[in-house]
Amino acid sequence: ALRRQATACLDAGQSYLVLDLSDVREIDCSGMAALVALARSARARGGDLVARGVSPRLRGLFEMTGLDQVVTSDP
């Protein structure tokens, strides 16, 4: 659902995506793959994917997997 909705925004001309992850406690491989794909799609359009409200636990996972190098995150 996330990938479909975000892709629809990109297809409609949006180049920047902001995701509120403040209620997200866990993320699996398919979720990480979706974030990578969306970040790449946004950057290909001259934009970016920004994750907001990333918990310390998720931030650690992002760092451990290298996702922090692909997805911009704000506190």
Tens-binned pLDDT, residue by residue, of the chain (75 aa): 888 999 999 999 999 999 999 999 999 999 999 999 999 999 999 999 999 999 999 999 999 999 999 999 986
**DSSP run (H or E) holding 17:** strand 16-20
Q: What CATH number does residue 68 fall under?
A: 3.30.750.24
Is 0.85 surpassed by the pTM of this model? Answer: yes
Rounded to 5°, angle at Cα 68 from 59 and 36: 115
> How many domains does the structure of the chain reveal?
1
Domain of residue 68, residue span? 2-73
